[in-house]
């Protein structure tokens, strides 16, 4: 009787293990149906590699050795600022789908992105994109990194993606049907158009004030806003699409070089706007010192190491915003004209900087808020600083 019970228990365990194996296999095998879009980042396996670049054959060998690891729950494909080479792998099966699809990586400042896709014949089709490739030579003309696929229904596919970058290495993978991505783009382009329209309006307004008042403070503000907008355009993929479509190097340099150049004029603006406040705190050296640091970061990004410049500009920008906020708070208590708007401006920018810095360091995942935090914070900051300048005029 006891041996019979053991046999029944053994049979039930076999059935249970078999069902778990089947369910695990089906969970790992993504089935692509005819939906508008699919977030592939949630399904990929990852391998980090340091050292010499790997070829596809090397990656296939590592895959067979089990070196690709599934993402942990809550883990994203944002790896922060790293020199490692990142490989993603995914097996998927198509259902009864339409043939044309677009694979998007919504992080335009990746240096190089290699996409390898194999069908049932096992032959990989290779496509390359990235901000080190001129915009007019990319597979798909889009501000984000994108490649086009022709997929057959009811077919098995294997995908490998290789990415490397001297800046933030984030690989948010989304597979789109063409009509869906163009519809989705309308919202993002509306937001970005509002931002750059606001930026241009504030630049022109304060440029006219400079010509009228001959105060260099307004010219420093115009330079700060314009260069910060250039850095944001680099992060959004617009420098390659609209400004330098034939020049991959300038497109590549624009995010870090633009922000560091903006920091130089930002230090000049803060020093001149706050007047005697830094000297009353014996901190008259602070903004000039930070300005020198931004100059060194700018030169580093151009002539030495973009990787080190990308790390340094995040830290320097955070120190700069905190310092401006501290000095502005003291100026507010001293009753300086425009100080209330100045403090609010740097609070909004600081919040955006903190969110973006945590994203760039790989702490926060890539999403609508984290990738646009600096854009939203800097947009509000520009408006408030312009109000602060207006308050100064009223006090004259």
Q: How far apart are CA 186 and CA 197, in angstroms?
A: 16
The tens digit of pLDDT for each residue in 99-118 reads 999 999 999 999 999 999 99
Is the per-residue pLDDT at 145 higher than 90? yes
Q: Name the most confidently modeled range: 206-220, 224-238, 286-300, 327-341.
A: 286-300
Q: How far apart are CA 45 and CA 59, in angstroms?
A: 12
Q: How confident is the model at residue 6 (pLDDT cuts 50, 70, 90)?
A: very low
The tens digit of pLDDT for each residue in 158-191 reads 999 999 999 989 999 999 999 999 999 998 888 8
Q: What pLDDT, on the 0 to 100 scale, is given for residue 360?
A: 67
**Average of per-residue pLDDT across 134-148:** 96
Per CATH, the architecture of 30-177 is what?
Sandwich (2.60)
Domain boundaries, the chain: 30-177, 186-395
Handedness of CA 209, 213, 218, 219 (dihedral sign): positive
Nearest to 91 by CA among 147, 30, 144: 30
Q: What pLDDT, on the 0 to 100 scale, is given for residue 365?
A: 75
**Average of per-residue pLDDT across 55-74:** 93
Task: Tell me if 343 sits within 8 A of 328, measured CB to CB.
Answer: yes
Q: Classify domain 186-395 by CATH number.
A: 1.20.1070
Q: Which two tokens stand for residue 209?
A: 């004030």
Q: What pLDDT, on the 0 to 100 scale, is given for residue 76?
A: 86
Give residue for tokens 């939203």.
376
Q: Name the most confidently modeled range: 145-149, 218-222, 228-232.
A: 145-149
Q: How confident is the model at residue 40 (pLDDT cuts 50, 70, 90)?
A: very high
DSSP 114-151: EEEEE-TT-PEEEEEESTTS-GGGSSS-SSSEEEEEE-
Answer whether 30-177 and 186-395 agree in fold.
Answer: no
Tell me phi and psi for residue 88, to 5 degrees: -115, 145
Query: Among 84-88, 118-122, 135-139, 368-372, where is mean pLDDT lowest?
Result: 368-372
pTM: 0.85
**Average of per-residue pLDDT across 36-53:** 94
């Amino acid at each position: 009787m006891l041996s019979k019970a053991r046999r029944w228990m053994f049979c039930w365990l076999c059935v249970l293990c078999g069902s778990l194996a089947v369910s695990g296999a089906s969970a790992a095998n993504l089935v692509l149906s005819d939906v508008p879009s699919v977030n592939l980042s949630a399904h990929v396996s990852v391998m980090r590699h340091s050292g010499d670049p790997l070829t596809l054959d090397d990656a296939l060998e590592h895959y067979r050795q089990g070196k690709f690891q599934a993402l942990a729950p809550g883990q994203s494909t944002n790896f922060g600022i790293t020199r490692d080479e990142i490989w993603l792998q995914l097996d998927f099966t198509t259902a009864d789908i339409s043939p044309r699809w677009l694979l998007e990586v919504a992080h335009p400042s990746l240096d190089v992105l290699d996409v390898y896709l194999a069908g049932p014949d096992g032959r990989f089709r290779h496509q390359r994109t990235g901000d080190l490739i001129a915009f007019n030579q990319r597979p798909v003309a889009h501000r984000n990194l994108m490649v086009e696929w022709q997929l057959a229904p009811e077919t098995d596919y294997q995908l490998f993606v290789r990415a490397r970058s001297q800046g933030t290495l984030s690989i948010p993978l989304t597979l789109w049907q063409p009509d869906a991505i163009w519809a989705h783009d309308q919202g993002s382009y509306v937001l970005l158009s509002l931002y750059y329209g606001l930026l241009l309006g504030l630049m022109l307004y304060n440029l006219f004030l400079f010509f009228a008042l001959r105060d260099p403070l307004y010219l420093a503000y115009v330079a700060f806003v314009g260069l910060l907008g250039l850095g944001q355009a680099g992060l959004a993929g617009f420098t390659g699409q609209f400004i330098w479509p034939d020049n991959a190097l300038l497109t590549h340099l624009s995010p870090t070089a633009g922000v560091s150049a903006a920091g130089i004029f930002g230090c000049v603006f803060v020093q001149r706007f706050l007047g005697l406040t830094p000297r009353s705190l014996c901190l008259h050296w602070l903004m000039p010192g930070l300005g020198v640091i931004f100059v060194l970061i700018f030169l580093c990004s151009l002539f030495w190491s973009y990787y080190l410049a990308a790390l340094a500009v995040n830290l320097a920008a955070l120190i700069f915003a905190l310092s401006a906020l501290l000095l502005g708070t003291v100026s507010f208590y001293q009753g300086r004209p425009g100080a209330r708007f100045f403090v609010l401006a740097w609070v909004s920018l600081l919040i955006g900087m903190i969110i973006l810095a945590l994203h760039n360091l790989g702490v926060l995942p890539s999403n609508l808020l984290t990738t646009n935090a600096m854009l939203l914070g800097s947009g509000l900051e520009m408006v408030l600083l312009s109000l602060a300048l207006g308050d100064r005029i009223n006090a004259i």
